[in-house]
A and B are shown apart, each in its own frame.
Chain A
Amino acid sequence: MKIKLYDLAHSRAGDKGDTLVLSLIPYREKDYPLLKAKVTAEAVKEHLKDIVAGQIERYELPNLPALQFVCRQALLGGVTTSLAMDTHGKSLSFALLEMWIENNEI
């Protein structure tokens, strides 16, 4: 069945210039392998295609556990000169959590 990331994980967005940084932290550690398998950089790029113009890199932090996504050219030019409503992209953590993944375990 399909499940929304919102129900599995939490996230905080940060910014560096025109780059958006999104963490993805499972509520339960046991869901980390599922997130790692399904929430690939490619899958996030497809989900955020209307927002992120550049590349997305994914970093894995098995110790926490958590994933980190670094999304280039995502803030319409960046904090100070962007014409976007949310110039920092701070609300975009919840855009990531709108993503649905196939959950084979349930």
Chain B
Amino acid sequence: MKQKIRIGCGAGFSGDRLEPAVILAEKAQLDYLVLECLAERTIALAQKRKIQDTNQGYDPLLERRLELLLPLIKSNKIRLITNMGAANPIAAAEKIVEIARKLKIDITVAAVTGDDVFSSLSPQDRDLDTGRLLTDFGPLISANAYLGADALLPALASDAEVIITGRVADPSLFVAPMVHELGWSLDDANRIGQATIIGHLLECAGQLTGGYFADPGKKDIPDLANLGHPFVDVMQDGTAVFSKVPGTGGTLRLETVKEQLLYEVMDPSQYFTPDVVADFTQVKMRETGPSLLEVTGGRGQAKPKALKVSVGYQAGFVGEGEISYAGTNALGRAQLAGAMMEERLKNRFTELRIDYIGSTSVHRTQWGTWPEPYEIRLRVAGKAPTAAEAAVIGEEVEALYTNGPAGGGGARKYVHEVVGIVSTFLNREQVEPTLTIRKS
């Protein structure tokens, strides 16, 4: 049992930058490096790739990340935990072994599966938010239960240097190594509550160190271009000290950590995870040095009886078209074009959206009076059951060239497939985490 453990977070989403994780692995003297790369929607898209090719369905950046990190985690004795397995952790583990062989590195990889509960869905299951039957939404593609820290403990007890999972609750990726190394009980709700807060703070990586924070002149962040990702020292008593590698950009201070503490949290006194119902309201933060911040006071109540399940369904296609107007009366000409699009399309699309980019497109409204912008981009979007029908929107916007107001330019059209996500609950007993080991 250790007195202290150091965990870094090298990625906060699938598309995150590669370099900060390399710097953490090189210079932070980590015990564990976590890469959180799985958003709600990502796993449904990954399931679709797996259906097309049984060797696919893991994170598209897995190879690039692991080629950079495997030599470093091996030489610096760091264990890597990541949910880059997405819909196919076993194929991901085999790919990592293949990369290790190529790099002539001996490595043991543990894949944790069991989150795929598609076969356990019942036709009577309902969406948590609306109460509607899941099957009402559209053809179902995927169902993944949020596994907790308990699912990772057997992998941590093995000699695996890389632990790869699919759908595990984001904070649980961090809670598991704390429980494993510091000898905590999963039934100690206050301890697990604090561990969950630590995991929640780290899971978005750069968002703790000044990413997604800067507002020049108001909230300045030094050297944002070279933003470093965070790591934490967790003590036996649960005290956490967050920091980042000296020399990297960004900063870690009360303001950045407060923003991240509340990020995506509904009721802060009841943050539900598979491990605990965490309470954020008694958290205390103290700056103890430059980019050095202590967090204590996380609490919790016993874990929920059911696990949340993310269900993906086919939601048709979105068609979009855009065209720009500039100069005097740009907004007037764009609005004329918008009104024409509404007239031409409203009978063909049940959901149609017309936005004036530069004016009211992002907040759908504005406050106070502002000077009219020099340029406005018209955006038209609508949903349709097939790609061909969705494409009509872009075609009509493009046709504004010769059929619309004066001076329209830069028309673009897009069609993309939509995967919808709804949630339901499943009894814990119906979910069985499984461990698979692969060696290079």
Contact = CB atoms under 8 A, between A and B. Distances in A.
Size class of the B contact interface (CB-based, 8 Å): 35 or more
Given A80-B418, A80-B420, A17 B259 contact: no
B337 interface: no
Interface in B315-352: 315, 318, 351-352
Nearest to A23: B262
B362 interface: yes
Interface in A38-59: 47, 50-51, 57, 59
B266 A21 contact: yes
Contact of A23 (B215, B259, B382, B421): B259
Contacts of B281: 61, 63
A10 B219 contact: yes
B436 interface: no
Contacts of A95: 363, 367
B255 interface: yes
A27 to B, nearest CB: 8
Given A80-B420, A95-B363, A63 B265 contact: no
B365 A16 contact: no
Interface of A: 6, 10-12, 14-19, 21, 23, 25, 27, 47, 50-51, 57, 59, 61, 63-64, 66, 68, 70, 76, 78-81, 83-86, 91-92, 94-95, 98-99
B204 to A, nearest CB: 10
A103 B199 CA distance: 38
Nearest to B320: A83
B113 interface: no
A83 B383 contact: yes
B129 A25 contact: no
Interface stretch (B170-178, B183-191, B241-249, B353-361): B353-361
B308 to A, nearest CB: 11
**3 closest A-B pairs by CB:** A14-B264, A50-B365, A23-B262
B102 interface: no
A51 B365 contact: yes
B262 A66 contact: yes
B379 interface: yes
A84 B268 contact: no
Contacts of A25: 255, 258-259, 262
Interface in B372-397: 379, 381-383
B186 to A, nearest CB: 25
A22 to B, nearest CB: 9
B261 A64 contact: yes
Interface in B269-294: 269, 280-285
A70 B267 CA distance: 8
A90 to B, nearest CB: 8
A16 B266 contact: yes
7 contacts: A6-B218, A10-B215, A23-B258, A66-B258, A79-B421, A80-B40, A83-B318
A11 B318 CA distance: 31
B260 interface: yes
Contacts of B215: 10
Interface in B185-223: 212-213, 215, 218-219
A10 B259 CA distance: 8
A25 B258 CA distance: 8
B112 interface: no
B374 to A, nearest CB: 19
Contacts of B212: 12
Given A14-B262, A14-B264, 11 more contacts: A12-B262, A12-B263, A23-B258, A25-B262, A51-B364, A68-B265, A79-B40, A79-B421, A83-B382, A85-B361, A92-B363
B41 interface: yes
A56 to B, nearest CB: 12
Contacts of B162: none
B21 interface: no
A21 B263 CA distance: 8
Nearest to B422: A17
Interface string B101-140: 0000000000000000000000000000100000000000
